[in-house]
Amino acid sequence: MNKYIGHSIQESGTYEYRLIGGKADGMRILRVKNGKGLDFEISLDRCADIVTLSLNGTNLGYMSPCGYVNPKYYQPTGRGFLKSFSAGFFTTCGLFTVGDPCIDEGEELPLHGTISNTPSEKYSVEETDEEITIKATVRDATILSHQLLLIRTYTISKTENKITLSDTVKNIGSKESPIMLLYHCNMGYPLLSENAEVVIPSDTVIPKNEHARGDIENSRKMEKPQRGYKGRCYYYDIKEKNGIGKCGIYNPDIEKGVVIGFDKKTLDKFTQWKMMGEYEYVLGLEPGNCNTDGRDVMRKEGKLRFIKPDEEYVTNLTFNFVCDKEKFAEEF
């Protein structure tokens, strides 16, 4: 125990509060501080995703014009997802569909699934001198359809600026279900600017469509905000080392960056969303087990994964935050 302080929250810890007013009214937010410079919010009513995140007072993620939106305003058809897409540091897409709206085997599927607009049923926090552990449970289940349970565990280091995320998806139903997961990690200003260096270690880059193909040579080059910019998506086969794939962004202007590591056994796909619009200025770095073409396309191409009754699907990610270009480079 530190005898210089009255309450541990002076240094690190968590506390829950609720938002008041507008479309955010009633939302449960868990604020987390690790005592080394990381300060972020977990949206307990939005799949326990990370919303705002800063390092030593500098913002790193992107908050969309929607702001905080209570999941009760979610419109689960077509592209209604975008009307409540806060973005935040990352949004979970899935669990039964990811990508473009489509009809797959007679089932109408919305953009990016519904899990990110589903509240946690329960959560817990444990804290030691070395780390903070947060667990949350989110149920994605429909009668006569998929019945999946997401058990999410965050481990936040108190000795370095690092977050580890481990998700276990369980099929609690009686029949096989598609399993689609994509971690929509959203980098924002001032981490993201025309001077930001983006590292996506891959020998191949595949444009999602002809619009993206037209600027493929600049896929990893960031630009200034532009009026009327139309976003571009690219698919990569990221190189792995000891089964781990990595990508990252570093901005020398603020001397800060983040490296995202992920287990390529269960997250073997990677999507980059480059959106350089005015007020819509965001870079999506998105590990997943699928791309964003839609479940019908993934099934047709034989790339759709499934989870059997009582089976578990486990994913692991790490977010390493650095304040030195050499340390950023060492990650690769």
Per-residue pLDDT of 46-92, as tens digits, reads: 999 999 999 999 999 999 999 999 999 999 999 999 999 999 999 99
DSSP state letters, 254-317? TTEEEEEEEETTT--EEEEEEEEETTEEEEEEEEESS-SS-HHHHHHTT---EE-TT-EEEEEE
For the chain, how big is the Rg over CA atoms in Å? 19
Query: So where are the chain's domains?
Result: 8-330
How high is the mean pLDDT of the chain? 97
The predicted-structure confidence for 285-332, as pLDDT tens digits, reads as follows 999 999 999 999 999 999 999 999 999 999 999 999 999 999 999 999
Residue 55's Cβ-side half-sphere holds a number of Cα atoms within 13 Å equal to 24
Span 177-235, pLDDT tens digits: 999 999 999 999 999 999 999 999 999 999 999 999 999 999 999 999 999 999 999 99
**Calpha distance 287→269 (Å, rounded):** 6
Q: Is 184 helix (H, G, I), strand (E, B) or coil?
A: strand
Mean pLDDT of 129-146: 94
- Which CATH fold would you assign to the domain 8-330? Beta-galactosidase; Chain A, domain 5 (2.70.98)
pTM over 0.95: yes
Rounded CA-CA distance 271/268 in Å is 10
